[in-house]
Amino acid sequence: MTSNLCLMSPSPNSAVEAESVASNVAKPERMLAGFPWVSAIVLYTLSWGWSLLRPNTLYWDDWHDLFQRDRWFARDYYLSTGRPPWEGVAHALLTPIGIWTFTYLTFVLFFASGLFLYSILKQTSLFIDQDLKFVVLIFMIVPVNHARISAIIFQYTTSYFLFFLGWFLLVQYKPIKIFVLACVTLFLSFKTHSFLFFYLLPFIHFYWQNNIQIGQLTTLHRKHVQLFAIVLLPISYLLLRDLFWPPSEEWASYQRPGMVGLVRWLPFSIPFLLGLLLVSWNLKFKKNTTKGFFYLWIGSGITALALLPYFLIGYFRPYASIIALRADWGTRNQILMPLGLALCVVGVNSVLRLYFKNVIFTLTTIISLIFNTYFGSNYFLDSLKKDQVVELFSVQPALENKIEVVIVDLTKRFNGRGSTYRDSEWTGLLKIADFEVASVNGDILCAELPSALKMTLKSDTSYFEALFSGDLGLYIEVESCSTVLEDDL
């Protein structure tokens, strides 16, 4: 193994020692040699295959941005928020084909990102074969970012794929044409702005991989020019954004970082900083740092880095929202977390392997499958619910066009991750049922709309009964808001 920081032997109980040598690039034809295809396909499909059962369902902002919209609406909307001109192009191309295209491509692109990561980490030679496989498997199934099921979240999915593809190209191949392609791919991934922070990882990897040539400061080397180009990528993106696609006045404060968020994030950096002190101490006095601790240390740093951009713009209030079970579509902000979490799990597994073998990895895999299956069942029932609600609306005699409607949903147990249907969702479901109402509100009371029709959605069917039967037992109670207000007097 080669590194300017450490040397690790392939033994399971080996340690990390200081040494500075060049890193070799793995041959392209061997980049996926040893990949755990069977385990990866089985575990990944068990974790995320539920999304393929009902691939044409709209969730959350899909109803606002895609339902019965012009194909370029999403792109124009993103431009107004300060996103680049290539954001939303995929939606314009795929939406006319069908919402199912986003579902199937999301399934494929996340799996492909796992393949890229395997090649990236294998090239570093930091991992024994078993640990490398464990990292990639956990990376692929860790129960985060379930919001990927939404078509509108495909914008983040493509950034994720482009980022790992760009990182893979950057460190795996030497030809200048591939380097340019890697830079372009990474630049395109910046359309999701949190990747401007995560970009630190391929930058460090490239520097570490070419540290000998870069360290020769007396001679201008091609690697110096390439490193300079890599440094310029995020700077260029930010400058171009200010010049050509700045946010509109309405969105000027959107995604603006703040000091309050930085202060709230600092506790997550403490494990990495403490580990840095220990690793630095060991390097100074030529002591060994165990392989498991090294994984855990790097994993804690990458996890903190994954959280940083979201804390900076005010997300994750309170802290518990990072792992909240009833997260609505907030899990989209977990998109950068899998790599750091996977390294932490494998680090702990390696530290305890002498006593517990691979129990930590096994338990993490089982827990991930349980959570992914449960959350997958949420979205399956949510999809069924939307169809059954449309059926109820279509036979509801009290519904008329151009009226105001207040909807009280007492069946949120069937909603994905405890979400609350947006008004745009209710409006869309009513339109599918051939009703064009004047307004529909799912979060206000009759007191605010006394002339409205109140519809209360109920069910006496339990969650698991609905899951196994496919019948949610939905029914609607209807009364006018004026009657409700009279009864309350």
* Residue-level pLDDT, tens digit, the chain, 489 residues: 333 344 333 344 444 443 333 344 445 457 888 999 999 999 999 999 999 999 999 999 999 999 999 999 999 999 999 999 999 999 999 999 999 999 999 999 999 999 999 999 998 888 999 999 999 999 999 999 999 999 999 999 999 999 999 999 999 988 999 999 999 999 999 999 999 999 999 999 999 999 888 888 878 888 999 999 999 999 999 999 999 999 998 888 887 888 999 999 999 999 999 999 999 998 888 888 889 999 999 999 999 999 999 999 988 888 888 988 888 888 999 999 999 999 999 999 999 988 889 999 999 999 999 999 999 999 999 999 999 999 999 999 888 899 999 999 999 999 999 899 999 999 999 999 999 998 888 877 888 888 899 999 999 999 999 999 999 999 999 999 888 887 766
At 220, give phi and psi (nearest 5°): -75, 120
Structural domain count of the chain: 2
Helix, strand and coil in the chain, % to nearest 5: 65, 5, 30
What pLDDT, on the 0 to 100 scale, is given for residue 15? 44
**End-of-domain residue from the set 356, 372, 399:** 356
- Nearest one of 104, 103, 106, 117 to 40, comparing CA atoms: 117
Nearest CA-CA partner of 327 in 414, 418, 412: 418
pTM of the model: 0.91
Q: Is residue 176 part of a domain?
A: yes
Answer whether residue 157 is part of any domain: yes
**434 lies in a domain?**
yes
437 and 401 Cβ atoms separated by less than 8 Å: yes
Domain membership flag for residue 371: no
CA 104 vs CA 51, 112, 143, 373: distances in Å = 8, 12, 19, 18
Residues 304, 404, single domain; the answer is no
Tell how far CA 303 is from the center of its chain.
Answer: 13
Task: Clarify whether residues 319 and 435 are in a common domain.
Answer: no
Amino acid found at 31: M
Give the chain's radius of gyration (CA, Å): 25
- Within this chain, do residues 20 and 156 fall inside the same structural domain, yes or no? yes
Name residues whose C-beta falls within 8 Å of residue 290's C-beta, 6 or more positions apart in sequence: 15, 16, 350, 351
Indicate whether 348 and 470 sit together in one domain: no
Look at residues 303, 296, 338 and name the one whose alpha carbon lies nearest to residue 141: 338
141 neighbors 47 (Cβ within 8 angstroms): yes
Q: What is the identity of the amino acid at 332?
A: R
Half-sphere exposure of 382 (CA within 13 A, CB side): 27
Instruction: Tell me whether residue 372 is in a domain.
Output: no
Distance CA 163, CA 157 (A): 10
Same domain flag for 351 and 392: no
Joined tokens for residue 115: 């393949």
Sheet with 7-8, strands from edge to edge, namely 7-8, 15-17, 289-290
Those residues whose C-beta lies under 8 Å from the C-beta of residue 243, and which sit 6 or more positions away, are none
Rounded to whole angstroms, how far apart are CA atoms 197 and 211?
22
Check whether residue 73 and residue 18 sit in a common domain: yes
The DSSP line for 303-362 is: HHHHHHHHHHTT-SSSGGGGS-SS-TTGGGGGTTHHHHHHHHHHHHHHHHHHHHTTHHHH
- For residues 126 and 14, membership in a common domain is answered with yes
Contact 148, 106 (CB under 8 A): yes
Q: Is residue 362 part of a domain?
A: no
Residues 263 and 332 in one domain: yes
Q: Are residues 181 and 47 located together in one domain of the fold?
A: yes
Same domain, yes or no: 284 and 395: no
Judge if 277 and 414 occupy the same domain: no
Can you give the pLDDT at residue 489? Answer: 60
Position 111 scores a pLDDT of: 98
Range of the domain at 437: 384-488
Helix (H) / strand (E) element for 486: namely helix 481-488
Which pLDDT value is given to residue 18?
37
Amino acid at 291: K
The answer to whether residue 368 sits within a structural domain is no
242 and 286 belong to one structural domain: yes
Q: Which of 212, 130, 238, 115 is nearest to 167 (CA)?
A: 115
Q: Is position 375 within any domain?
A: no
